[in-house]
Amino acid sequence: MSHIPSPALLEPFAAVPETARPTDPGTPTPARAPTGQRILVVDGDAALAGSLTAQLRRHGHDPVGVRHGSAALQAYQDVELVLLDLDLPDLDGLQVCRAIREVSRVPIIIVTARRSELDCVLGLHAGADDYVTKPYGLRELIARIEAVMRRTRWQPAAAREMDLGRLRIDVDSRQVTVDDRAVPLTRKEFDLLCLLAAQPDTVIPRKQLLQQVWGDSWSRRTIDTHVSSLRGKLGGNGWVVTVRGVGFKLGTG
């Protein structure tokens, strides 16, 4: 069982000296935009990611960087766009992309050194909105960010309430009811239930649940303890179904 050091979580990358920043020659320092995007930069190379976060900040955005895929799975909910490298120290970036896309519509742009057509196709199939290869021109990347955000603004809002028969989940207020009875849940219990409810007919692997809900802080019995507690609060073992050797899926109570 791996353990990612806690400093990896939401630890901003150090600023990189101006001479080390991979920017287009002759690019003037832009005026700070009146409003920017909160952008998650996921890259295992701290120097390159530090350069990118510095450039994004100069363009008026609010970037935050993480080095590990497990940290990205904890941080994506608080940002408006994700820039995701595929070569990470702990997880493959495609796995991270798929895991985020299964539960969120946050825009994802893959930024990677993998240049083949197959890699690009796999990235787009994993749920990425765009695919940029290194080395890249900063102006092109900024333009792609703006284009993805424009498309996103025209998309209808994601459902914030899940109505699953007797079970109802209000994502915004984090309230759960069964047969109109309020069910008080802890933060992790709610996150676990939401992840299962987002794919009610799908068996979600145990490892994916652990990584997305608990990130780097979990033990072998973490998920079993929370599943047991969740079943008790919802009122029956049938709400969370165990698929032996694979994971869990949402039941009907």
pLDDT, tens digit only, all 253 positions of the chain: 333 333 333 444 433 333 333 334 444 444 333 358 899 999 999 888 899 999 999 999 999 999 999 999 989 988 999 999 999 999 999 999 998 888 788 899 999 999 999 999 999 989 899 999 999 999 999 999 998 888 776 544 455 788 888 999 988 788 999 999 999 998 889 989 998 998 888 888 888 888 778 765 566 688 889 999 999 999 989 999 999 888 999 998 7
pLDDT at 150: 84
pLDDT at 64: 93
What radius of gyration, in Å, describes the C-alpha atoms of the chain? 20
pLDDT at 26: 43
Residue 114, SS3?
coil
- Residue 42's H or E segment, with its range, is strand 38-42
- Kindly report the pTM of this predicted structure: 0.56
pLDDT at 220: 67
- Which amino acid is present at 39? I
pLDDT at 11: 42
- Please report how the helices 117-125 and 93-103 are oriented relative to each other, as an axis angle in degrees rounded to 10: 30
Joined tokens for residue 128: 């990425």
The answer to whether 252 and 208 have CB atoms below 8 angstroms apart is no
